[in-house]
Amino acid sequence: MNKENVGLSAGSGGKEMSELISSFGFTNRGNWENCDNDSATLNMEDEKKLVFTSDSFVVDPLFFPGGNIGHLAFCGTVNDLSVMGATPLGLSLSLVIEEGFPREDLEKIISSIKKLSEEYGIPIVTGDTKVMPKGKIDKIIINVSGVGVVNDKDVLTKEINVGDKLIISGGIGEHAVSLLSKRFDYTTDVVTDSKPLIRELEAVRDLVKVAKDPTRGGIAAILNELCEKCNMGMLLDEDLIPAKQEVVKVTEMLGINLYELACEGRFVCISSVKNAQNVVDKLKKFNSDAAIIGEITSGNQVIVKTILGKRILPVPTGRLVPRIC
């Protein structure tokens, strides 16, 4: 990457992105907390916190097996609120559309958002619409920002301890593979995992300490981020990490790291040893692949135990899969 310019890798959810964002130097956060988390929080009265997040979606292609950019945008922002333990209150929807964009496609996208909004009872309450001349933007990009509320005691940023269990709510990499299949025009049965995680998180909120959704950069990115924040390590067992056979095959075919593949409807959470099986049992009602995949260690790295021995799972770098969300 040319040091003077912004490279594609700066948008991939890995090391280069962290560096770019750090370079902005937004350090004065007023009374807000969790500004480097999925959503920022602000103390209100009555032991409640306001929760606020924002995401822009630039996914390519716009329509892919099991979803589209609208569905993804709704889920992505709702999940950023939910993994904090929050109840979403309302969303904004800002569209930037290319001149000449087919009205029919726009209707499909809006219709996906409306359907989710009604099903989950989270209204779209404000927004903005811009149109750019033909050729100045690739079709459409969507920003969804969201506000929510959480009781102080429910915020999922609790202290974790050595021995705590690492749990995942379902198989990894399905969103990335569904997109890649469309992009490279191969046939697969894999559809995106994109979905709101509200119900799953409500079911286990009292039992887990921390939750994170592995989007750009996959579990490789978020587990390393967690380790760095908590100053702890993790030991994962490769055999326990759920992934569909087709997903694994695509990663082998394309030579990409399974653990760096984006999910859009999965979360990793950490619970005490005592609660772990209960968490998995509750999550299995939503997805039978939910599983304990490892535990917290006293190290400072993410280590994966494989049949060939242990290896470090590093922070992702490079371009990964561009425009995944």
Q: How far is the CB of 88 from its own copies (least distance, A)?
A: 10
Identify which of residues 107 and 206 has a Cβ nearer to its own copies in the complex. Answer: 107
Q: How far is the CB of 285 from its own copies (least distance, A)?
A: 27
Q: Which amino acid is residue 132, in one-letter code?
A: M
Alpha-carbon span 52 to 77, nearest angstrom: 10
Tell me if the bond preceding 88 is cis, omega within 30° of 0: no
The arrangement of strands across the sheet holding 233-237 comes to: 210-212, 268-271, 165-168, 291-297, 233-237, 302-306, 309-312
Identify which of residues 57 and 234 has a Cβ nearer to its own copies in the complex. Answer: 57
Given phi > 0 = left and psi -120 to 50 = alpha, else beta, which region is 224? Answer: alpha
Alpha-carbon span 213 to 256, nearest angstrom: 20
> Residue 23 CA to chain centroid, in angstroms?
23
Identify which of residues 141 and 190 has a Cβ nearer to its own copies in the complex. Answer: 141
Q: How far is the CB of 196 from its own copies (least distance, A)?
A: 16
Identify which of residues 43 and 300 has a Cβ nearer to its own copies in the complex. Answer: 43
- CA 235, 240, 241, 246 torsion: positive or negative? positive
Identify which of residues 53 and 275 has a Cβ nearer to its own copies in the complex. Answer: 53
Alpha-carbon span 314 to 257, nearest angstrom: 11
What pairs with residue 149 in β-bridges? 50, 87
E strand or H helix at 106, and its extent? helix 103-120
Q: How far is the CB of 323 from its own copies (least distance, A)?
A: 7
Q: How far is the CB of 263 from its own copies (least distance, A)?
A: 17
Question: How many CA atoms does the CB half-sphere of 2 hold within 13 Å?
Answer: 3
Identify which of residues 157 and 297 has a Cβ nearer to its own copies in the complex. Answer: 157
Given phi > 0 = left and psi -120 to 50 = alpha, else beta, which region is 316? Answer: beta
* Dihedral angle of Cα 154, 277, 196, 238, to the nearest 10 degrees: 120
> Residue 206 CA to chain centroid, in angstroms?
21
Identify which of residues 45 and 185 has a Cβ nearer to its own copies in the complex. Answer: 45
Q: How far is the CB of 92 from its own copies (least distance, A)?
A: 3
Q: How far is the CB of 299 from its own copies (least distance, A)?
A: 30
Identify which of residues 44 and 273 has a Cβ nearer to its own copies in the complex. Answer: 44
Q: How far is the CB of 132 from its own copies (least distance, A)?
A: 5
